[in-house]
Amino acid sequence: MKEPRLGVFICHCGGNISDVVDVEKVRQAVEGAPGVKVAQTHMFTCSEAAQQEMIRLIREHDLNGLVIASCSPRLHQETFRQMARRAGLNPYRYVQVNIREQCSWAHPHHPGEATRKAVALVKGGIARALRARSLEPIVIKTRPEAMVIGAGIAGLEAALGLSRMGIKVHLVEKEDRPGGLLRDRGPIFPTDQKGRELVEHLWREIHRDANIRTYFRSHLCGKEGVVGDFRLKICRDGEEKEIRAGAIVVATGARPHTPQPGEWGYGSEGVCTLYEFLLHLAEHPEEKPLFYRGRRVRRLVYVYCVGSREPAGEKARTYCSRYCCTAALYTACLVHSRWPEVTQVHLYRDIRSYGKYEKYYRRALGYGSVFVRYSPQSPPEIHPGGRLRVRVRDLLTAKQEIELEADLVCLVTGLEPVHSPELLEHLKLPVGKEGFFQEVHPKLRPVETMADGVFICGCAQGPRTAEESAASGLAAAAKVGALLLAGEVKREPLVAEVIEERCDGCGECVAACPYGALELSGDRVRVRESLCKGEGACVPVCPQEALQVRGYEHETIKALIDSLAEGLADA
């Protein structure tokens, strides 16, 4: 092995570190240590000027290892890896030591101790850098094919978006028709287009598209392989079929909440959910006067937030479904315009007709809808009978009790997640506390999941309007496009490796790996690198110490521990 030549750089972080940790003392403690050729401090190591200086030093001293003591690797590991690459140094010969979060921020009142700890950590980092190896990312060729699960508005839009980019699409739907929640619907906001027609329009395009194959009455029943090249199984009528795809878009949707019989008067004649009422309106758009299941409707009462925003508790739906206020207001406008003789009363908690949807609230007010605000402590009581009687306390007249009669009470319910254990098992998708699939970050990475190559969109990740579902479907398509059209995926090479001469093929590790990345071949274990996530579950179970994760080799970890201990003893 070449003689080690390390550069050690310690960051002030503009005072974030140096106000507590004596960085000069840390520098002196490591200067001249075996293998250390350069030791410097910088006000901001991440600044372009400091990076240029470090690049110059790496080249000038022909450094073959690098330690930077600064912030968390979460923040700048990638910054400095790229810097190393620019200097012609293999990025995996760079080690980041965190003396901000772990020293100056954690121990602001003990500067002496914080400095001691920083010295020990930097020495540990040096021990790692001395043993670092040059590594190259694992490259996986991608297939320009994707699977979209769910043929609702989000799935249909995603499929079309992918096809337009030249990606072959396998569209899998559990029912025998496309359309999801919009299939049998009349006009929807904000376009006033009929849901049914929108679905038909999209479906015609998909049908014409040679790039998209659709599988009805089918569901996912197996997943193998890696991002860029999955081997997926779908089941249809008990028959299995294998499909290969580079990425998966989950657009499995949600379902409208239906109250239990008796809750909010549900189950009695004249009480329905908004979704049921909308389906009825779609079926009888021109009927005059307005009837609902044989009842003449002169007065229509909406109750908002049914089964939503419940007080915390087990299985409570504490969340707001965000689309239902607007949906109810839009329905009221529809009824006002077709059946102006119908009086409509809205019992609400808070109106959330956000953004431009405010126009439906104003329009409903203008049409003469009456709004009564109730408090969750005294929800409306609905008494069944020939004419329904509704009692509620109106917050806008100092909680006076109001009684009104109604022909139809429409419960405005939200959306709830559809639980699909199979999908969870095969895709290992994280689920949020509300039961919907969870994205990595709602604003910054809104359709990506923790599972590589699996994207989510539409109501599967939370309640939303049709407009928002379509937009997120297209967003998922764009992300899949960016992944697959690049031709290859690069992954961290910090994966498990087998020390051949120690392995006796006992197979203990094969069972320990949650990703199925290990397999026995002959009397040795083999790592399928593209499957391995480098999490190291296999390392401690191996009785022969024959498995290690690159970058965290047995020797490296032992040396790290020794030097941490020494560092503390010295300082």
In the complex with another protein, which residue's Cβ is closer, 62 or 401? 401
> According to the binding rule CB under 8 A, does residue 46 interact with another protein?
no
φ, ψ (nearest 5 deg) of residue 57: -65, -40
Q: Which of 14, 289, 368, 505 binds another protein (CB under 8 A)?
A: 368
397: its two tokens: 């007249």
In this structure, what token pair is assigned to residue 298? 């002169």
Angle at 39 between CA 38 and CA 43, to 5 degrees: 130
Nearest to 416 by CA among 275, 266, 265, 258: 258
Q: Choose the stretch contacting another protein; rule: CB under 8 A; options: 113-121, 198-206, 390-398, 462-470.
A: 390-398
| Residue 389 binds to another protein (criterion: CB under 8 A) | no
Among 370, 418, 478, 541, binds another protein (CB under 8 A): 370
Q: How far is the CB of 390 from another protein (least distance, A)?
A: 9
Give yes or no for residue 366 binding another protein (CB under 8 A). Answer: yes
Task: Tell the smallest beta-carbon distance from residue 412 to another protein (Å).
Answer: 18
Whole-number minimum distance, CB 350 to another protein, in Å?
A: 13
The amino acid that residue 183 corresponds to is R
Asked if 329 interacts with another protein (CB under 8 A), we say no
Show the 3-state SS of 350-379. Answer: CCCCCHHHHHHHHHHHHHCCEEEECCCCCC
When asked if residue 400 is in the footprint of another protein (CB under 8 A), the reply is yes
Query: Would you count residue 343 as binding another protein (CB under 8 A)?
Result: yes
From the list 103, 252, 279, 122, the residue with the least C-alpha distance to 186 is 279
Burial group, residue 127, by CB count within 10 angstroms (0-12, 13-18, 19+): buried
C-alpha–C-alpha distance, residues 571 and 565, integer Å: 10
- Should residue 397 be labelled a site residue for another protein when binding is judged by CB under 8 A? yes
Residue 66 burial (C-beta neighbours within 10 Å; 0-12, 13-18, 19+):
buried
Choose one: 227-235, 367-375, 410-418, 482-490; the region binding another protein (CB under 8 A): 367-375
* 337 near another protein, rule: CB under 8 A: no
372: contact with another protein by CB under 8 A: yes
- Among positions 147, 151, 345, 454, the unique one binding another protein when judged by CB under 8 A: 345
3-state secondary structure (DSSP) of residue 276:
helix
Rg (CA), the chain: 31
Bridge pairing between strands 408-413 and 299-306? parallel
Please identify, using beta-carbon distances, which residue of 58 and 333 lies nearer to another protein.
333
Applying CB under 8 A, does 303 fall inside the site for another protein?
no
Between residues 112 and 368, which has the closer beta carbon with respect to another protein? 368
Q: Please say whether the beta carbons of 557 and 102 come within 8 A.
A: no
Question: Nearer Cβ to another protein, position 366 or 516?
Answer: 366
Cβ distance to another protein smaller for residue 304 or 319: 304
Residue 267: strand, helix, or coil: coil
Binding-residue total with another protein (CB under 8 A) = 19
Of residues 292 and 361, the one with the C-beta less far from another protein: 361
Q: Which of 132, 181, 404, 546 binds another protein (CB under 8 A)?
A: 404
Q: Interface with another protein includes 365 (CB under 8 A)?
A: yes
| Residue 341, SS3 per DSSP | coil
How far is the C-alpha of 167 from the C-alpha of 176, rounded, in Å? Answer: 24
CB 127 within 8 A of CB 556: yes
CB-nearer residue toward another protein: 119 or 364 = 364
Which token pair is 533?
């996530």
Measured from the CB atom, the residue of 108 and 386 that comes closer to another protein is 386
Q: How far apart are the first and last CA of the chain?
A: 31
Piece in contact with another protein (CB under 8 A), picked from 80-88, 190-198, 394-402, 446-454: 394-402
Per-residue binding string, another protein, 470-509, x by CB under 8 A, is: ----------------------------------------
Interface ranges with another protein (CB under 8 A): 343, 345, 362, 365-368, 370-372, 394, 396-398, 400-404
